[in-house]
Amino acid sequence: MERKREEAMETENSTGFSSFPDQIPTNYPFSGGLFDFPGDISGAGKTSSSMGFMELLGFQDPTTPVFDFPPPPPPATSLPESSDMGNLPATPNSSSISSSSTEAANEEQAKVAEGEVEEEGVGGGEQEEKTKKQSKPKKKTQKREREPRYAFMTKSEVDHLEDGYRWRKYGQKAVKNSPFPRSYYRCTSAMCGVKKRVERSSEDPTIVVTTYEGQHTHPSPVVPRGSSAVLPRDPGGFPNSAGVLPMQTTQSHYQHPYFFSLPSPSLNYSSGASTASFLRDRRYCTTSSASLLRDHGLLQDILPSDVRKEEPK
DNA sequence: CGTCTTTGACCTGCGC
DNA sequence: GCGCAGGTCAAAGACG
């Protein structure tokens, strides 16, 4: 099984992760765009499905390329808690406390981003991350809280990108207005409730949209069996404990060319110009990133330069 | 045998 | 209330 995946990676992406420098966190694939979703991208399922991911992510302009380079880090004011998150200990129970601190902060931030901050007063109704379907419906006025979500758009032939963690697929659903199904994965580590969804863009089948939800509670990524992935050694708090969220901590602790978070205030999702300016801003095309593209085939395979520059529509 | 995927059924939320 | 669509469960099967 793993071998299959490995083969897929090798055959379809031409190169393995072993070619990554060990500072390249493998748990976040590649140079796809990362979006810090301000809100629930799926809670209003119909909305998201009707919009389509590209639009949802702000790529309303079909010619808008997938991010090649990380866009500029958001202003510090946009991520007031980023440092907090960076200091956040790898709490083994983060899923249960997430609503009180991390998640709440994120959601609030998200709401602020949308200009619709409400009274919080949620009162810690979050139970275990596994409320399941049997859980009684929450108050109508109060939507089910969700872990913060982060999405990547990655050019890849493979749907399930190796990211250093082990995932168990627990579902697959057809997506409306999309010929491609959406797959649901859950981190196999005990006590870790991180989930991710993987789907292909209906507008560009070569784009894989991976949405992470939650924080890894285990301090270090699990080495994928049979994988030659070189896992990051946590150079001062990154990648690490949170796995998914480090991208936020990255803002303040570890600026890695591959990871970026885009709080909505700093990015006009509907603005192709913003994206274009990001792409043009070579400050964010670090040498390591650029050289990687040249020296290591993976990223190039995933995001061919011509594809990255313009969508072959 | 353990792990993971597949897949149909079920639950939930939302709009009409 | 109903229907639709997203999200999840869990049994069965595949695979190494």
Blockwise average pLDDT, block size 10, chain A, 313 residues = 40 34 37 42 36 41 37 34 35 35 37 36 35 36 58 75 79 86 84 82 81 73 42 35 35 33 33 33 33 35 38 37
Report pTM.
Answer: 0.52
Among candidate residues A231, A236, A289, A280, the one with its CA nearest the CA of residue A18: A231
- The pLDDT value given to residue A145: 56
- The pLDDT value given to residue A137: 35
Rounded-to-5 percentages of helix, strand, coil across chain A: 30, 10, 55
Please state, in angstroms and rounded to a whole number, the distance separating the CA atoms of residues A153 and A33: 5
- Residue A280 beta carbon within 7 A of nucleic strand C: no
- The pLDDT value given to residue A147: 65
- The pLDDT value given to residue A144: 53
Domains and CATH numbers, chain A: 152-213 (2.20.25.80)
- The pLDDT value given to residue A69: 33
Length A171 CA → B6 C1' (Å): 8
Strand B proximal residues, A:163-202, Cβ < 7 Å: 166-173, 183, 185, 188
- Strand B nucleotides within 7 Å of a protein CB: 2-15
Maximal C-alpha separation, chain A:
54
Beta-carbon-side half-sphere exposure of residue A211 (alpha carbons within 13 Å): 23
Strand C proximal residues, A:25-44, Cβ < 7 Å: 41-43
Angle of CA points A54, A277, A37, to nearest 5°: 40
- The pLDDT value given to residue A181: 87
- The pLDDT value given to residue A261: 37
Length A267 CA → B1 C1' (Å): 50
Please state, in angstroms and rounded to a whole number, the distance separating the CA atoms of residues A169 and A185: 4
Report the nearest residue to nucleotide B10, CA vs C1': A133
- Nearest nucleotide (C1') to the CA of residue A133? B11
- The pLDDT value given to residue A252: 32
Length A45 CA → B9 C1' (Å): 20
Length A293 CA → B1 C1' (Å): 42
- The pLDDT value given to residue A146: 60
Residues in chain A: 313
Please state, in angstroms and rounded to a whole number, the distance separating the CA atoms of residues A103 and A109: 9
- The pLDDT value given to residue A256: 33
Length A162 CA → B1 C1' (Å): 25
